[in-house]
């Protein structure tokens, strides 16, 4: 893990080659203004045609064709459907990675947008709608705009830009690998080797025109878990003749809630244990033989992760023993992301670049977020900076804003232009060694 390592190319002290521009020299505002209509058009196309994790075939084709049209070297089929673009500047220098995620979610869109998704597909054996309910459509469109601007000005920077369009951020289908973890495994950060990586996430709760960031732990590490409770089936009218897994599960769930409130040192870092799904039984008068529950764990340190995992096992087995039942605990079940960690040196160096994009008053130090991001796999390999881009219409109350992963999720497209400016500033200042 390279969290504490010195950012190699970022801290070069030599003078800029004559003729190379930092973001302070290039008219980033004009470039972002000019590309904005295309960015909006691309976003609407992706929004209308979403695809689930590891199935982003059309999406990948659109991205690859765009990058190829710009004269960017393109690799496809990375981590199943990912696309990597390599743009070389005027001379040798650092290598910057820029990442955007590609997948949609199994959510039926409820809004009335003219580009509303009507796509359906099969997910876990069920017919579902598909929607960009987390803003990945905006991330791709922003990065395509950045790619077009940088490709037109490749003689204005040294080094290399690596565009990483990543599938399956929401997690690969059961039984498959995917996402940033698989991209890293397949060498997406190598040849040329990335020195630092930047990423953004549009955020529906924050006003457009704002950027939120945090050094060190920005987003939680996450693991999902499964608890299977095995009892003895009986008639519902004679519960004493069986061992009830439903009542056992209820006691386990209550016990799990004490892990965070009574075990984790919350003054140091937050933590979450949530049971999100519970299934057991088929009718009212049959005590079932078994029951399954699944949930999610969020922590900000390895020590808290290990503590919470052990306490979940202790609680589940302890309650089951007391009830005469038996449990199987699986952690993780299918998903395990590290903490999304912003390298402190890189963050401190690049915050002025974000402030020039948004205005210093609009760049805010934020609290840690208990959501999770598999950008963390990239940032575990090389120094990374991940930030939040405001997507809420000005004047709209937070409490009236539909959250991510919901049928009514919506962002204001006017916020995307700042994403283009921010990524341009970060890239050019890093590559050309601006003294921030």
337 is catalytic: yes
3-state helix, strand, coil in the chain (%, to 5): 35, 25, 40
CA atoms within a 13 Å half-sphere pointing along the CA-CB vector of 294: 8
**Is the distance from CB of 328 to CB of 252 less than 8 angstroms?**
no
- The residues pairing with 84 across neighbouring beta strands, listed in sequence order, are 75, 164
213 is catalytic: no
Choosing from 337, 381, 386, 430, the catalytic residue is: 337
The three-class DSSP label of residue 335 is coil
DSSP 214: -
Distance between CA atoms of 96 and 88, rounded to whole angstroms?
A: 11
Backbone conformation region of residue 348, classed left if phi is above 0, alpha if psi is from -120 to 50, else beta: alpha
Residue length of the chain: 436
What's the distance, Cα to Cα, between the start and end of the chain in Å? 26
Distance between CA atoms of 217 and 239, rounded to whole angstroms?
A: 48
Distance between CA atoms of 429 and 158, rounded to whole angstroms?
A: 11
**Is the distance from CB of 386 to CB of 340 less than 8 angstroms?**
yes
400 by Cβ neighbours in 10 Å (0-12 / 13-18 / 19+) ranks as exposed
Choosing from 148, 169, 413, 430, the catalytic residue is: 413
Which residues form the catalytic set? 337, 413
């Amino acid at each position: 893990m390279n969290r504490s390592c010195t950012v190699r190319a970022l801290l070069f002290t030599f003078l800029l080659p004559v003729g190379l521009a930092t973001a302070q020299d290039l008219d980033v505002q004009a470039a972002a203004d000019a590309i904005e209509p295309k960015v909006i058009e691309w976003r609407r196309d992706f929004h209308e045609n979403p695809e689930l994790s590891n199935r982003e075939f059309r999406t990948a084709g659109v991205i690859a064709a765009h990058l190829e049209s710009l004269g960017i070297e393109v690799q496809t089929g990375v981590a199943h459907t990912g696309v990597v673009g390599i743009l070389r500047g005027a001379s040798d220098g650092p290598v910057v990675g820029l990442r955007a995620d590609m997948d949609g979610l199994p959510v039926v869109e409820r809004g009335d947008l003219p580009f509303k998704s009507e796509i359906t597909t099969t997910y876990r054996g069920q017919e579902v709608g598909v929607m960009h309910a987390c803003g990945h459509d905006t991330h791709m469109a922003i990065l395509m705009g950045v790619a077009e601007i940088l490709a037109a000005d490749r003689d204005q920077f040294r080094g290399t830009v690596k565009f990483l369009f990543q599938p399956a951020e929401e997690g690969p289908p059961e039984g498959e690998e995917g996402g940033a973890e698989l991209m890293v495994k397949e060498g997406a950060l190598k040849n040329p080797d990335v020195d630092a990586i930047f990423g953004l996430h549009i955020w529906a709760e924050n006003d457009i025109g704002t950027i939120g960031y945090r050094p060190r732990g920005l987003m939680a590490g996450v693991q999902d878990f499964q608890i299977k409770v095995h009892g003895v089936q009986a008639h519902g009218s004679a519960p004493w003749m069986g061992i009830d897994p439903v009542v056992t599960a209820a006691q386990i769930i209550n016990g799990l809630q004490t892990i965070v409130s009574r075990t984790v040192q919350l003054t140091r870092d937050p933590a979450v244990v949530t049971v999100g799904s519970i299934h057991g039984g088929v009718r009212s008068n049959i005590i079932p033989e078994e029951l399954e529950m699944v949930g999610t764990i969020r922590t900000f340190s390895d020590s808290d992760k290990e503590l919470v995992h052990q306490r979940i096992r202790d609680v589940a087995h302890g309650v089951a023993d007391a009830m005469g039942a038996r449990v199987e605990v699986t952690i993780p079940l299918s998903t395990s992301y590290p903490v999304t960690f912003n390298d402190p040196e890189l963050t401190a160096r690049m915050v002025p670049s974000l402030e020039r994009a948004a205005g210093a008053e609009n760049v805010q130090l934020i609290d840690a977020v208990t959501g999770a991001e598999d950008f963390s796999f990239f940032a575990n390999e090389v120094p990374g900076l991940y930030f939040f881009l405001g997507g809420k219409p000005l004047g709209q109350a937070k409490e009236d804003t539909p959250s991510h992963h919901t049928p009514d999720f919506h962002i204001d497209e006017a916020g995307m232009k700042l994403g283009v400016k921010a990524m341009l500033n970060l890239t050019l200042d890093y590559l050309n060694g601006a003294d921030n």
